[in-house]
Amino acid sequence: MSDLFERFGIRRVINASGTETVHGASRASDRVAAAVASVLPHWIEMAELQRAASEVIVKATGAEAGFVTGCTAAGISVAVAAAMTGVDLGRVERLPDTTGMKNRVILQKGHEVNYGATVTQMIRMTGAEPVEIGTATGCAAYQLESAIDERTAAAIFVLSHHTVQSGLMNLKTFAAVCGAKGVPVIVDAAAEYDWRGMLRDGATVVIFSSQKAPAGTTAGIIAGEHEFIRACYHQERGIGRPMKAGKENVAGAIAALDQWIETDHKAVQKAQAVRLDRAESLLQNIKGLRLEREPDPPGNPFDRLMLHVDPRVARISAFQLGQQLAAGKPKIVLRSLHTDRGYLLLDVRRIDNAELDVVVGRIREILSSVPADSEPVAPPPGGDLTRQGMARWLAR
């Protein structure tokens, strides 16, 4: 088999950013790869494979049932559609025509985020109408209560570092208000871990990425109440059809969740903490660089290392440091969502000590070789950077 990296000149990546899909999310283990390879040569009854996946999802999450779709974004659309149609195939086939159906979906304005596309676009493509409540930095229970009416089909709660992290309702409060009025709660938890806790807090269904925390193949895992999951499965006959997961995706998700169930997570967390200590030690005493720990904003059990770059001392900005790291071979990726606030984030969960040494060495090299007359450059808005990158696609 040819090496795609060599054949097409694709750069290898050291991912010290996290589990973003744009960088391939996570490395799959040999166990996951073997599970995918074992199913690829065979015909299979997909309904039976999905039923098997449901059993493993139940074991991993504590849900009543589970279903595998194309990705978490697909899972949002599938779950919204399920909330509107139930198991009525006639309605399933009519979407995005929602005539005669409840079709309003509520979310807090601070949860309308862009993770490559927006949450509301995933809602609208089903024919549903998103209803944003509160402000970008604040939302209260009374505003949710007031927004729920006879046309409300569902409410969405987003758990992510992308969302506003203060001033909004937590999941337990949000679900309690919705539950009192019979409104199902769909939780978008793409990269998050505590699926059991989310269900305990009142989620009707939780959607997460097979390729992120569990480190499986690309797929969206929907876990929750039995009848709602049945309605999600019915969307394979409607708008869920172009979002379906193939046998390799489902087999990979099963293997990844089996692996997750058997993993000693406390040992993993301990190893990550040791690696973060090592990163902090190696990055000490660099001119213009200040270090700080940041707990994961949604509450997952790990910290990241904040690299504050003082442009007056370093003569370059955090944005420029991130750009130079990403321009090399291998490409080094740190989380750069907050370069406008002067820092990068180093996430050690997906790298080993050898890769960490490469990252640290490159950071030291860049910061020690800035020309004396260099002028720090502030970052443009992230959306403009994305647009520029897409405009260059296909160019070598």
Domain limits for position 212: 28-262
Q: Other C-beta atoms within 10 Å of 64: how many?
A: 17
pLDDT of residue 250: 96
226 is a domain residue: yes
Average pLDDT (179-193) is: 95
Q: Let me know whether 106 and 181 are in one domain.
A: yes
CATH (domain of 368):
3.90.1150.180
The Cα–Cα gap between 387 and 286 comes to 33
Mean pLDDT value of segment 50-57: 97
Does one domain contain both 334 and 216? no
The answer to whether residue 21 is domain-embedded is no
Residue 237 covered by a domain: yes
pLDDT exceeds 50 at position 85: yes
Instruction: Express as a percent the part of the chain with pLDDT over 70.
Output: 99
The 3 state secondary structure assigned to 331-352 is EEEEECCCHHHCEEEECCCCCC
In a domain, 368, yes or no: yes
Could you report the per-residue pLDDT of 315-355, keeping only the tens digit for each?
Answer: 999 999 999 999 988 999 999 888 989 999 999 998 899 99
How far is the C-alpha of 230 from the C-alpha of 188, rounded, in Å?
Answer: 18
Same domain (yes/no): 172, 161 = yes
What confidence category does residue 374 fall into, taking pLDDT thresholds of 50, 70 and 90? confident
Are residue 69 and residue 204 in the same domain, yes or no? yes
Domain holding 257: CATH number?
3.40.640.10
Instruction: Work out the mean pLDDT of the chain and round it to a whole number.
Output: 92
CB atoms within 10 A of CB 10: 11
**Within a domain: 182:** yes
pLDDT of residue 296: 87
- For a pLDDT cut of 90, what percent of the chain falls above it? 75
Measured distance CA(350)–CA(13) in Å, rounded: 11
pLDDT at 19: 79
- Round to whole Å and give the CA distance between 356 and 244: 37
**Judgement on whether residues 100 and 155 belong to the same structural domain of the protein:** yes
* pLDDT at site 77: 97
Higher pLDDT, 25 or 159: 159
Does residue 4 fall inside a structural domain?
no
Residue 25 pLDDT exceeds 80: no
pLDDT confidence of residue 29:
87
Rounded mean pLDDT of 95-111?
96
| Total tally of structural domains belonging to the chain | 2
The residue from 262, 280, 311 where one domain ends is 262
Point out the domain boundary residue: 262, 293, 324. 262
Q: Can you give the pLDDT at residue 1?
A: 39
| pLDDT tens digit sequence for 203-244 | 999 999 998 899 999 999 999 999 999 999 999 999 999 999
157 and 282 part of one domain: no
3-19 average pLDDT score: 85
Q: How confident is the model at residue 2 (pLDDT cuts 50, 70, 90)?
A: low
